Structure 1
């Protein structure tokens, strides 16, 4: 039985990486078990680990569900000085999505449900409300 998951990205400098991801998530790490490593529980049971090391350019993207993809894009451009990235959608896909990279080449992204009722139901299910 699978009941949780983790995903890991690597950064060259853990202090810089931790600060960057703190800004991305708008909060401190949930767990720092040892030097060179920080973890955030993004949603219940889903952890992102940031570890000092060499990033893998071919992996990802890891996409995070958001309720306002345009607003999050503007926040990251302003707060993290990342390049403007394109937001995509297709008629047959129930979300719009985007991909960007962190300063170490890790591919990340966002997605937003087009149907806001579906989005609210997903949030209630995932967050246990």
Structure 2
């Protein structure tokens, strides 16, 4: 039985990396067990680890669900200097999505459910409020 998961990205400069991910995630880490390592619990049981080390180029993308992908694109552009990235959608796909890279080459993506009802149902399910 799988009950939890972690995903790790590596950054060559931990101080800059932690600050970049704090800005991306809009909060400080939940756990810093030692120097060169920080973790955020994104949703219950799902952790993002940022570790100092040699980045693996073209890894990911790690896709993060957001309520408003256009608003997030503007926020990230303003705060992190991420150049404009395209938001994609297809009629047969229930989400809009976009992909960009962090300064170390790790792939990051965002997605937004087309249906607000479906998004709210997913949030309730994930939080155990079926």
TM over 0.5: yes
2:91 aligned residue: 91
Gaps of 5+ in 2: none
1:26 aligns with 2:23: no
Deviation per CA, 1:55-114: give whole Å up to 9, x if none.
111321000000100000000000001111000001110000000100000000100000
Contact 2:59 2:107 in 1 (8 A): yes
> What is the alpha-carbon distance in structure 2 between the residues aligned to residue 27 and residue 115 of structure 1?
27
1:67 aligns with 2:67: yes
The two structures have a TM-score, normalised by structure 1, of 0.98
- The alignment yields a C-alpha RMSD, in angstroms, of 0.7
1:57 aligned residue: 57
Q: Size of the alignment, in residue pairs?
A: 129
- SS of 2:33's equivalent? coil
Contact 2:58 2:105 in 1 (8 A): no
